[in-house]
Amino acid sequence: MEVVIVTGASKGLGAAMVEQLLSPDRHVIGIARSPNQALAASATSKGAWLDWYLQDLADADASDRLAASICASMPRDATRYALVNNAALIEPVGAVATLESAAIMAALNVNLAAPMLFSARFLAATDDRAIDRRILNISSGSGRHPMDGNGVYSATKAGLDMFTRCMKAEQLERPEGRRARVVSLAPGVIDTDMQVHARSQDPVKFPQTRYFVQMKTDGVLVSPEDAARKILGYLFRDDFGDTEIDDIRNA
């Protein structure tokens, strides 16, 4: 049996990944701000084990408590443990001078603090076993290329990349059989609610709006289902973790 934790599990890419992960030999743990009855029904029909936790990851203290509780209660006899840090906020967008503190802190907590906290609890809970452990951080090309009006999102994704690099360096100091594998993966541009939100912004406030509108018009956005299929294929590859900063379009 495998155990896979997915944050941001109720919509878009997260929901598509959970749907494709569901199987009788896998224990899937979904974390999201809202329920998803379709996924619950799908788990029942497939005879799959799906646990669901409602949590706004913008609340760092509550997120840490949840992460500790989930990781401490994971089955101890799994053949593989995987954590997919997928949840993210694109807001706030706009020039730096216009940003509000509450929105900045929410994005920092969801996009960066939550992956740090879940990774910490996940590693601590599985550290006593020589077992296959994998952490996949869903990053973004925005964290690797500056985008005006997108400073907070881009900075959090750049931070996620560096956090992954640090985890990789730390794991390399451990005996080979006890190393966790970690990757920060840019998933490409996916046709999700986040993209709808990006296309709805005032181009004066968020100049990248025109770029995302054109991508939709040109039909180059990837569906959540296709993106999930490629990402999960990457997660379960034998060489997962050899390259800690990657882009699914290069894989």
HSE toward the beta carbon, residue 77, CA cutoff 13 A: 1
CA dist., res. 233 & res. 227, Å (int): 10
- Say which amino acid occupies 99: L
- Pairing relation of β-strands 49-54 and 2-7? unpaired
| Closest by Cα among 147, 165, 163, 140 to 227 | 140
Q: Give yes or no for a contact between 188 and 251, defined as CB atoms under 8 angstroms apart.
A: no
Q: Give yes or no for a contact between 101 and 150, defined as CB atoms under 8 angstroms apart.
A: no
CA dist., res. 235 & res. 56, Å (int): 25
CA dist., res. 175 & res. 189, Å (int): 37
Helix (H, G, I), strand (E, B) or coil at 239: coil
DSSP structure class, residue 86: -
CA 234-235-240 angle, to 5 degrees, is 80
Q: What is the pLDDT of residue 67?
A: 98
The answer to whether the predicted template modeling score (pTM) of the entire model surpasses 0.85 is yes
Those residues with Cβ within 8 angstroms of residue 219's Cβ, 6 or more apart along the chain or in another chain: none
Q: What is the pLDDT of residue 198?
A: 62
Question: What domains does the chain contain, in order, with CATH numbers?
Answer: 2-190+224-250 (3.40.50.720)
| Angle, in degrees to the nearest 10, between helices 114-126 and 60-72 | 20
Helix (H, G, I), strand (E, B) or coil at 27: strand
Q: CA-CA distances (angstroms) from residue 13 to 18, 122, 217?
A: 9, 22, 21
Those residues with Cβ within 8 angstroms of residue 218's Cβ, 6 or more apart along the chain or in another chain: none
Q: What is the pLDDT of residue 218?
A: 63
DSSP structure class, residue 53: E
Tell me which residues of the chain have a pLDDT lower than 70.
192-202, 204-220
Q: What is the pLDDT of residue 219?
A: 64
Q: Give yes or no for a contact between 3 and 78, defined as CB atoms under 8 angstroms apart.
A: yes
